[in-house]
């Protein structure tokens, strides 16, 4: 992600250790993490405040919240691309993500794959 400008990335992940590892990887590859949100409500606040270039989103969030449904709202309201990062690779989940035409990474994520996918999603 070492490009002319640093991509601003919002990480929406409710497992703190996973979120920290993803953030470290993004920063190491030249991106800029604008924040970590554990819930759609907090993610929305960060979206309004910082207008990230890309959102890295878990599928299952705390309290049974649906990351895919929230990603659809993000794309409609902000036009921001979403990259899903999940350990849940069942057929139904994959089909829902495909219908949104979002990028997908399966956990555990490799740092170079994460960087490439975020760049691809951002159009850079």
Q: What is the pLDDT of residues 58-109, one digit of tens each?
A: 998 887 888 999 999 999 999 999 999 998 788 999 999 999 999 999 999 9
Strand (E) positions, the chain?
Answer: 8-12, 32-37, 54-57, 60-61, 65-66, 82-86, 103-106
Long-range contacts of 95-99 (CB under 8 A, 24+ apart): 96/68, 97/59, 97/68
In this prediction the pTM is: 0.92
Q: In the chain, what percentage of residues exceed pLDDT 70? A: 96
- CATH architecture under which domain 8-122 falls: 3-Layer(aba) Sandwich (3.40)
- The per-residue pLDDT for range 18-38, each reduced to its tens digit, is 999 999 999 999 999 999 999
Domain edges within the chain: 8-122
Report yes or no: 115 and 23 within 8 Å, Cβ to Cβ.
no
């Amino acid at each position: 992600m070492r490009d002319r400008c640093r991509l601003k990335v919002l990480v929406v992940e409710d497992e703190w250790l996973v979120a920290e590892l993803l953030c470290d990887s993004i920063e190491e590859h030249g991106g800029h993490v604008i924040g970590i949100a554990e819930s759609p409500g907090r993610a929305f606040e960060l979206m309004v405040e910082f207008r990230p270039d890309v959102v890295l989103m878990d599928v299952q969030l705390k309290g049974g919240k649906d990351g895919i449904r929230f990603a659809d709202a993000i794309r409609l309201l902000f036009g921001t691309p979403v990259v899903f990062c999940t350990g849940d690779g069942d057929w139904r989940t994959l089909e829902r993500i495909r219908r949104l035409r979002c990028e997908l990474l399966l956990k555990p994520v490799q740092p170079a794959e994460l960087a490439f996918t975020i760049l691809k999603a951002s159009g850079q």
